[in-house]
Amino acid sequence: MRRLLVALWAISVLAPARGLAEPRGRVRVEKLTVRGSFPKERIRAAVQGRLGAIEQLYRRHQRERPALRGRLVVELVLREHEGDIASARVEASELNQPELEASVLRVLRGIRVHGGRMPTLSVITLVLRFVPRAETRTPGRLAEPTGRSIEALPGAGNGT
């Protein structure tokens, strides 16, 4: 038992010093745009409620690729009357991690937002920034497979 305690203590002390600590990456909403009549504040709150689950997915992938970082542009279609996501797709990504991107889409498809009165659709463009803890800014430009830069995507330019 004592050996186990000593081993656990050594791991807790030596792991952070050797870069072996649990990844602590963050995911931030860089931009959120809504085309439709649904209130942006309600959608932002629903997305914020899902960020914890997205961060867990990101940290899991960081174990294999500690330097994993970048932006992910997602388009969501919200059925206003039902308050659920009709479709979700990746518009552009710097992550190069199809498995992570698919998992993020699954989490975002679970969003439920109530309060819409009209049987219409709202299109939401969401730019998520995946940042390792020590990094404060994501370098580079985001380009989708067609070569368009992030600024060329509707609602995905700079700003909030």
The backbone region for 128, taken as left when phi is positive above 0, alpha when psi lies in -120 to 50, beta otherwise, is beta
Which tokens sit at 49?
């409620």
Contact between residue 84 and residue 78 where contact means Cβ atoms under 8 Å apart:
yes
Which tokens sit at 8?
């656990």
Beta bridge mates, 128: 29, 72
Determine phi and psi for 104, rounding to 5 degrees: -60, -45
Residue 120 pLDDT grade (very low, low, confident, very high; cuts 50, 70, 90) = confident
Per-residue pLDDT at 157? 52
Residue 146 pLDDT grade (very low, low, confident, very high; cuts 50, 70, 90) = very low
pTM here? Answer: 0.70
Domain boundaries, the chain: 23-152
Residue 147 pLDDT grade (very low, low, confident, very high; cuts 50, 70, 90) = very low
56-110 residue pLDDT tens = 999 999 999 999 999 999 999 999 888 899 999 999 999 999 999 999 999 999 9
